[in-house]
Amino acid sequence: MSYAEIAAIISFAFLGSLGHCVGMCGGFVISYTTAKIDPSQNKTKQSLYHFMYNIGRVSSYTLLGALFGYFGSLWDVGALERSIMLLTSGSLMILMGLSFAGKLKFLTYLEVPINKIPLFKKIYTFSLGSKSVSSFFTLGVLNGLIPCGLVYIMLVTSISTASALYGAFVMFVFGLFTMPTMFTLGFLLGQLNVSKYRKLMLNLASISVILFGSWTLFKAYKQYDYYVNTPKETLLKDKQEMKCGAGKCGAGKCGMGKCGSRE
């Protein structure tokens, strides 16, 4: 994964969280802040609570990234497969950017609430009533499992890495750079919901997501172009090297020169 890709994920996470997470997760943050945090408590203790909540969110994202990255590693991912994944991810990003800008209602169909699922509701209610520090972590984990368009896109990116480790890394970076907004939201919720501010952030998020989506589509085109103009023997070699990189041939075989190009 290049530095440019990491920078793109960071900007996507930060601007996307400003434009989208404030509105979508604001109610979640309001509920635990109102129910569990006494305004008279010192700022250090309040910061700890918000930090634990956000660590819970990032933990959920990282675990999901590892699972989806591992799922991607089960396939024989080559240039064509990566092109399809990138095309899917880039298209979703552009649709989401247009949704941020108010041109579509795309997110309405993606972000189906799961808070009515009995098990989710039971754990949420119990954690909301608890005053323990760990209960904030649990609430963060639950929040990380709520359907979210931004998360969907990053999970597609995680699959395209074809690696549990890199998939987890993608989602960890994404979660980490949504933290500044969500952490601040716990303290400054009223100010962050000012309509002018939210409109500005949605516009910035829309532009950022559309640019990221366009860049991802360009990467999809480059992968497809490589697939079309590369000899089949080289494509097969690439796939087998990818298998070795994902550990699917076994370290021993790869090391002994029994895996594809290493023969």
DSSP for 16-49, please give it. Answer: HIIIIIHHHSHHHHHHHHHHH--TTS-HHHHHHH
Q: What is the mean pLDDT of residues 54-61?
A: 94
- What is the per-residue pLDDT for 114? 61
Query: Tokens representing 229?
Result: 């103009």
Question: What are the extents of the domains in the chain?
Answer: 3-229, 232-263
- What is the per-residue pLDDT for 78? 73
Q: Which residue has the higher pLDDT, 132 or 28?
A: 132
The pTM (predicted TM-score) of the whole model is 0.73
Q: How many other C-beta atoms are found inside a 10 Å radius of the C-beta of residue 226? A: 17
Sign of CA dihedral 29, 35, 39, 42: negative
Q: Helix, strand, or coil here: 76?
A: coil
Which among 89, 107, 92, 76 has a CA at the least distance from the CA of 239?
Answer: 76
* Chain position carrying tokens 């907004």: 181
Contact 259, 253 (CB under 8 A): yes
Q: Which residue has the higher pLDDT, 63 or 45?
A: 63
For 55: left if phi > 0, alpha if psi spans -120 to 50, otherwise beta; the answer is alpha
Q: What is the mean pLDDT of residues 81-108?
A: 76
Q: What is the mean pLDDT of residues 20-27?
A: 63
- What is the per-residue pLDDT for 46? 83
Q: Which residue has the higher pLDDT, 193 or 43?
A: 43
